[in-house]
Amino acid sequence: MSTGLWLRLLDGLFVTLELTLFGAALGLVFAFAAGLARLSGNRLVRGVALTYTEGFRGLPALVVLFWLVFALPGLGFQLEPLFAGVLALSLNIGAYGAEVVRGAASMGRTGSLTVEGAR
């Protein structure tokens, strides 16, 4: 293989690592925010978190990416391609992670009592 091809492959690897690291980091923020919001006493906060969680868990990340790249410019919002990829990935990761955070946080309150009662 030629040197130019290897450089292009390394560029692709770098972009993939950027998408993965930034998407996962931002997704972690979304996951904790939405997961803890699902346990809120405020019905509005719980409803927004539930809508986000169920909505983005039901949409494939590729559909969200297409919407961010092709539909938003029609509405007057132009995102950089890398940022659109990071945002689409993090919204998807955050929605799935929110359920993990919600489940773990709710088990912290009642989990030990439930296990003791089952014995």
Q: What is the pLDDT of residues 66-87, one digit of tens each?
A: 999 999 999 999 999 999 999 9
Q: Cα(first)–Cα(last) distance of the chain, in Å?
A: 64
Q: Is the pLDDT of residue 104 over 60?
A: yes
With a CB cutoff of 8 Å and minimum separation 6, the contacts of 55 are 95
The whole-model pTM stands at 0.83
**Where is 116: in which H helix or E strand?**
helix 81-118
At the top level of CATH, the class of 26-118 is mainly alpha
Distance CA 112, CA 119 (A): 11
* Residue 114: band (very low, low, confident or very high) from pLDDT cuts 50, 70, 90: low
pLDDT tens per residue, range 17-64: 999 999 999 999 999 999 999 999 999 999 999 999 999 999 999 999
pLDDT tens per residue, range 45-58: 999 999 999 999 99
**Do the beta carbons of residue 35 and residue 101 sit within 8 Å?**
yes
Query: What is the 3-state composition of the chain as percent helix, strand, coil, each rounded to the nearest 5?
Result: 85, 0, 15
Structure tokens at 54: 């169920």
